[in-house]
Structure 1
């Protein structure tokens, strides 16, 4: 763990002995020593310049506001003066018009008074008008009398002219013959038209009968096609209902599967928490065993090094004693003293080593504790991250499950609504079919009534034509009888009164006792 850890980049460097540390000097800065003062001055200059610009802008804004307000006041005053001038001018113009109207009114009043005074009639004027009226009426009566005289003279000439009378008689006979021929032709045309109408009505009735048969056959085919289409539609709707039922069943199964999956997720979460707990306990046990094993190995190594050192010393002493037998006596004391010094040195060295080992143990323990704490923190962070991740996953999955459940519920509601809409559509289709059949039935009855009405109208028209012919025949008989009676009366009274109508009227008034002045 310590070997793989990256060293931190610091300015401190460890020396050859414990607690000896060297610090590396800093790199010289590229900025001058007084750069802060210069920067501060630059900021102050910029701020003063900005304040000066702001003051200048404020002064300019104040001047602009004053100029704008002044211009607006000048404009308003100018407009006010112009408006006042126009109003005064309009008042003067209005007063002039009023004065002219007063003068016109006075002149019209004077003219009306003069006309009223001039319109009054005098007695002489009234008599003159009456004489003119009498003269006009007399001339009118004379003109009417002369016109009547001219008409009667012309009538007399026509009646007394034999050639004209014979010509008029022949012309009258020709006109009578032509009129009779025209009447016969008209009657033949009417008979032919009546026969054509009867034939047309018969053809129309036959065509209507064929059209009705064709229409009934076509309607039967259309009804059959509609029934087939309705059957197909019902089959499709039935299939759709079955599919919707399958969808609802699938949604319920999916809902059960989602609930089971949610239970599995909860169970997995509990198992994961238990596994994390066991893993933490196992890791703690392994770390403790590792620390104990490291300490045991280090202690055994130290004991082996001490034993090896003692064996080397003994071997050296034995070798020296064998090679220098003659100097044993002389140097025995020196060796003993040297051995004592060496042992003292070894004890001192051992104490220093022990002290150093204790320091190293402390450092190692501190490092191990730090690394262990770091590892625990890392494990805690990882555990917290895994927990957050698992919580997020579970929350997302729970949201997905809830959303899926909501979608299933919504889908079931939509299926229910669609089922209701489909049922309503089927009811509406059935109602429309019934209304359509009722409309067709009404149309057939109306068509039947129209045909019966046409037949009745044709029959009544024939009866009216026969009645009209009979009435014309009776009128002809009456006219012939009246003509014969008038002819007999004329033959019985050959004297014809040819007195002028005005003379006849004059004689009638004389006989009634009207004065002569009134007749004139």
Structure 2
């Protein structure tokens, strides 16, 4: 389980006596969202590794404690059985030696032996109960430590989740601000493009209107010239018609006088027509000249008005374009400043994330060190407790040996202080005293 997690995290395990150290390879530089996901995965996997390590350490401590307790209990049971066998052997020897004693002594000895056995059994029961109580206390202590560790872990997990949520919210706010700013910039660029398109459209329409006016002026000039030519042709046609009528009338006259008069009249009429034609031509020329002058004056006035209007429009267009250019330049400067500010904020956010990452790693190393020290302290306390239990057990065994020795000495003194009978065999201690003491009759 642990190697698979380490393989996923791409870290190398260095197994120690108690804890597990991990050397993490720094991930390559990626965008902020990839860093957040990688950071969350690494935190989750690292928490799983720490949980597994704590659980493994707790199991190792419990197994070590159970093994030492079993060894201690087994050794105590063996020693108790050995002492019981020795005591049983001693009791058999005493019983064999004192088999011939009086019933009262045997009764007292049996009663004392029973009391001693009862006391030993009571002591064993108390010791067993004390050990059971101690085991229950230790299990309760381990349960409390486990519960405290679980609560601390839940609290750390809650704080870590809250901190991670705050970081994610801050990053989302920054990203949202950047997206909103980019959207506003896009809308501003779109408005500028629309305004430029509108200005170009207005300029094209103005050029089209000017072209239409110029075409209209040319059409009016051409129509006026055609009209003047048509009037001149009509007048010439009328004069030619009059001349043809006169000639026809002259051909019909046969009288020479009338012909002379008609010729004179015709001559006068021709002169009149010639003068009239010249006058009409002069009038036409004057009229045409006046019309040309009037047209030139009108078109000059219109051209001047158009020129002034074009200049005014051009000045207005130049002012508008200059204002738009200044606005665009100002917006570009503001955008550059905002981009630089956003870049600085991103760099500051990156530095803050790196610092928080280093702090988290330092905090995890500190927690690992504290857990290792806590495990060492627990092991030291357990060893001290085991040594105290061994010393207490040794003291109890020594006290029990002293009590048994005192009971044995007291029993020997009682036996030695009582008179012996002729029927009973002498006690070894009495036999050692010699024949100076005579046996009393029963």
TM, length-normalised to structure 2:
0.40
TM, length-normalised to structure 1:
0.35
- Largest Rg, 1 or 2: 1
